[in-house]
Structure 1
Amino acid sequence: MIDTFMGFDPWLQALTATLFTWITTGLGAAVVFFTKEVNDKFLDTMLGFAGGVMIAASFWSLLAPAIEHSQNHFIG
């Protein structure tokens, strides 16, 4: 399946990836329409997971490259 995807033209790869993320986001958001109540423990777990993902994203996207960049340009 990955070999098939890699054989596509770049514009078709981008379109396929965009549609995939759009569909999965839509399916995840559709769950809201089928739930009447949310368990507090489940909500706390999901909020903690989302917070952890955001902290990890900020570290790997911002802090790690900045630390590496500063170590390469250290004058000492």
Structure 2
Amino acid sequence: MVDFFLGLDPLIQALLATLFTWGMTALGAALVFTTKSFNQKLLDGMLGFAGGVMIAASFWSLLSPALEMAEGGRVPAWVPAAVGFMLGGIFL
């Protein structure tokens, strides 16, 4: 199965990955329509998990590359990332 997917054109791979992601999101959202109530502890756990995923995504996709790009500059590498982080918080 993996070999078949890797043998496809990159545009087809992107299309299939997008459709898979959309399908999983739609399936998860469909749970809202099939249940009347959720356990509060389950909701709290899912919210905590989602928050952890977002923190990890922001670090690995934004802060870590910013630190790598700022290395070797005139200021310490953490300064541009910290200033950008704070400005983002202010604008939010």
Normalised-by-shorter TM-score class? 0.7 to 0.9
Shift of 1:74: 4.9
Task: Name the CA distance, whole Å, in 2 between partners of 1:58 and 1:65.
Answer: 10
Runs (5+) with no aligned partner, structure 1: none
Is the partner of 2:71 in helix, strand or coil? helix
Counterparts of residues 2-21 of structure 1 (less than 5 Å): 2-21=2-21
Shift of 1:47: 0.7
Task: Name the CA distance, whole Å, in 2 between partners of 1:55 and 1:17.
Answer: 23
Residue identity over aligned pairs, in percent, reads: 65
Runs (5+) with no aligned partner, structure 2: 76-92
Give the TM-score, by structure 1 length.
0.87
1:48-75 Cα distance to aligned partner (Å, 9 max, x none): 1111111111111111111112224357
Give the number of aligned pairs: 76
Task: Name the CA distance, whole Å, in 2 between partners of 1:4 and 1:73.
Answer: 45
Corresponding residue of 1:40: 40
Task: Name the CA distance, whole Å, in 2 between partners of 1:60 and 1:35.
Answer: 35
Corresponding residue of 2:53: 53
